[in-house]
Amino acid sequence: MLRAAVCVSGGGTNLQAILDAMDAGTLTNTEIIAVISNNPGAKALSRARGRGIPALVLSPKDYPDREAFDEAFTAKLCELAPDLIVLAGFLVKIPPQLVARFSNRIINIHPALIPSFCGVGYYGLKVHEKVLERGVKLTGATVHFVNEGMDEGPIIAQKAVQVEETDTPEILQRRVMEQAEWILLPRAMDDFANGRLRVVDGRVRRV
């Protein structure tokens, strides 16, 4: 059984999609051993506690500097020793030492079609604002392995979503979640948990 730790910063609708997929039997062979947030007010924490999943808060604000936070965050994940770390709307940069320890065992959901609308400054609603500003007609979501770059690791899955002329960032965000994120993330976890993903020469192959 895959032991997964899920990191969240806010609403936790992707965490909910993971839990719903486990209930529905479409995400198999997986146990959520902990939910970790940088934000003590994250709704995701109460979603986890409601299910009896240990919910922890580790915030950069509680440490003297970034280095101290990175050390503590890495130490906590190493202590938990998950098989997979899932960034489900986690808006904190992952410490490089954690990436090194969990090579190809950290996955992230990004609300755009990488390599568009990603990298520094592209997170959450901001992504959808930029999409609308640029006037692209198609956007979507991407699940990828996390490497030392920002949104640069091997891509596991993508799904396109239509942009409508009347969209606001909030409306578009909701459509991208419903039509792409909440489907892609649990499916990628199921693929990982059942040994269907291999990284070969920096690209993901399904086996």
- Residue 124's identity, in one-letter code, is G
Min CB(69)–ligand GAR separation in Å: 18
Nearest-angstrom CA–CA distance, 66 and 54: 25
Residue 40 identity (one-letter amino acid): P
Specify whether 110 is catalytic. Answer: yes
The DSSP secondary-structure symbol of 170 reads: H
Residue 46, CA distances (Å) to 52, 76, 114 in order: 10, 20, 31
The three-state secondary structure class of 174 is helix
Using the rule CB under 6 A, is 119 a contact of ligand GAR?
Answer: no
Cα–Cα distances in angstroms (integers) from residue 126 to residues 8, 141, 187, in the given order = 17, 14, 25
Annotated catalytic residue: which of 110, 128, 144, 175?
110
> Which residues, 69 to 108, sit near ligand GAR by CB under 6 A?
88-89
Tokens describing residue 207: 């086996």
Q: Is 12 in the site for ligand GAR (CB under 6 A)?
A: yes
Closest CA to 124 of 100, 102, 108: 108
Question: In the set 2, 109, 143, 156, which binds ligand GAR (CB under 6 A)?
Answer: 109
Quick check: 123 binds ligand GAR (CB under 6 A)? yes
The stretch near ligand GAR (CB under 6 A) out of 12-20, 52-60, 73-81, 164-172 is 12-20
**Contact between 19 and ligand GAR (CB under 6 A)?**
no
Judged by the rule CB under 6 A, the positions of this chain that interact with ligand GAR are 8, 10-14, 44, 88-89, 109-111, 123-124, 127, 177, 181
Enumerate the active-site residues: 110
